[in-house]
Amino acid sequence: MTDLSVHTTPIPGVLVIDLPLHGDSRGWFKENWQRAKMVALGLPDFAPVQNNMSYNEEAGVTRGLHAEPWDKLISLATGRILGAWVDLREGPSFGQTFTLEMGPEKAVYIPRGVANGYQALEPKTTYSYLVNDHWSPEAKKSYTFVNLADETVGIDWPIPLDRAIVSDADKAHPKLADVTPFPGPRTVIVGASGQLGQALQKVLPDADALTQDDLDLTDADAVASYPWSGVTTIINAAAYTAVDVAETESGRIAAWKINVEAVARLAEVARANRATLVHISTDYVFDGTSTDHDEDEALSPLGVYGQTKAAADVIVATVPRHYVVRTSWVIGEGTNFVRTMAGLAAKGVKPSVVDDQYGRLTFTDDLARGIVHLVESGAPFGTYNLTSQGPIVTWCDVAKRVYELTGHSADDVSPTSTEEYGRGKQMAPRPTHSVLRLDKIQAAGFEPVDGDEALVAYLQAERA
């Protein structure tokens, strides 16, 4: 009896599982699907929802080759087959084949887009497969096929196909040269018109970039009806960020609709489609009394904006595949603090800027790169802080540096307190300390940029 084990194959993602058969004079018993053990050995946690079986009365029954829009785990209850698989996914492995003669002692995991077929080698062979989506006539429209007899595929069927039992439909499938590749996994960026959304589009040019006009996240029907099939990653760069307006009656309602209710809809979509949900959080989920914040600190928001973002963090954490990326002081395309200060400097304005809030800038191009790193590297799911690194600064420090870098005097910027700056204004409470510790993102293999170096590069690009 072999031990339970998982092996790779020439087709990326296709895995062979050795299944121990526990036998005696009565027959045998096996654990055909054992989530904890198999996932620990490297099988994806693919969450099957349907079990299908195909009984083959005679040796020579041959079926396939079908690439379907779901992942599956195939195995046998009785008999033996030659299993055959052809990668029909777009990409460098398109057309790669793999065959395996197998009985009940094997199982094979097949990712979506890999064509699957088999030939029964014994009478009364019973073929079983678990899939992680429900079959429907609509789903069948997404199938991709390749012909069993295609010589370029080169499958050596033990029973020649002219003596095998093959359906007319399977005989009519196209040759590999005529196959349109199965589309690759889709990434969706929501909030694509914002500062981060624009940066994400540059590093993910093939992603579906959705603005508020493309998909209104506050419309439950619109979110439910969007074609999520095939989406493996959802990056939520949409948010209500009018921190001060959020303290008003209308702003409070809008903030909760966008920052909480809409996020709950995306979380449900991610769960239903087994997608990874990436959500952008903020330093405002903390009250700022600690001088710096790690990912495990208890949430303690001061104002409505922070409260809505904290609520969203809790919701996203319920999604099995999630990254909460917590950031602060974001600078990118569009209106932001650095551009405002550069504009004031150019006009000869000598502003007063608060010097009792502490943190680090985050540049959207670096934030976008960090998000892609987490997803593509397969970093453990959870919450990660991501800002620039380097010395801790105040807003006043940043303003003075912008004045210097744009050829003006840092002395044109004068310090003031948050209390003084906010006197007579409708202002939400701010965390005093917004410094986010970066140990975890660095341990995951991503090294954030130095804040001052990034600021220099940002202003140089602005002048170019």
Question: Is 403 among the catalytic positions?
Answer: no
The dihedral through the CA atoms of 156, 158, 163, 168 has a sign that is negative
Q: Are 152 and 86 in contact (CB under 8 A)?
A: no
Residue type, 372: V
Lowest mean pLDDT among 183-187, 246-250, 261-265, 393-397: 183-187
Residues near 370 by beta carbon (within 8 Å), at least 6 away in sequence: 325, 384, 386, 441, 446, 448
Say which DSSP state 393 is in.
E
How would residue 47 be classed by pLDDT, with cut points 50, 70 and 90? Answer: confident
Q: What percent of the chain has pLDDT over 70?
A: 100
Q: Report d(CA 267, CA 251) in Å as an integer.
A: 23
> Global pTM?
0.84
pLDDT, tens only, 161-212:
999 999 999 999 999 999 999 988 899 999 999 999 999 999 999 999 999 9
* Look-up of token digits 């130095």: 450
**Angstrom distance (rounded) from CA 183 to CA 124:** 36
* pLDDT above 80: residue 71: yes
**Distance in angstroms (rounded) separating the CA atoms of residues 200 and 204:** 6
How far apart, in whole angstroms, are the C-alpha atoms of residue 3 and residue 102?
Answer: 16
Is the pLDDT at 52 greater than 70, yes or no? yes
Residue 117's nearest CA partner among 92, 94, 97 is 97
Catalytic residue among 66, 279, 293, 433: 66
CA gap 199, 210 in Å, rounded: 13
pLDDT, residue 244, reads 95
In CATH, 186-463 is 3.40.50.720: yes
Name the catalytic one among 129, 323, 384, 421: 129
Q: What is the DSSP letter of 247?
A: G
129 is catalytic: yes
Domain ranges of the chain: 5-178, 186-463
For residue 98, is pLDDT > 80?
Answer: yes
Residue 232 to residues 17, 140, 211, 372, 441: CA-CA distances in angstroms?
Answer: 24, 19, 19, 13, 22
Token code pair at residue 40: 């620990």
> Is 5-178's fold the same as 186-463's?
no
d(CA 267, CA 311): 13
Which CATH fold topology does 5-178 show?
Answer: Jelly Rolls (2.60.120)
Q: Can you tell me whether residue 110 is helix, strand or coil? A: strand
Average pLDDT score over the chain: 95
pLDDT, tens digit (0-9, with 9 covering 90-100), for 112-128: 999 999 999 999 999 99
| Residue given tokens 């020439």 in the structure block | 10
pLDDT at position 334 is 87
Q: Is the pLDDT of residue 229 over 70?
A: yes
pLDDT band at 1 (very low <50, low <70, confident <90, very high): low
In residues, how long is the chain? 464
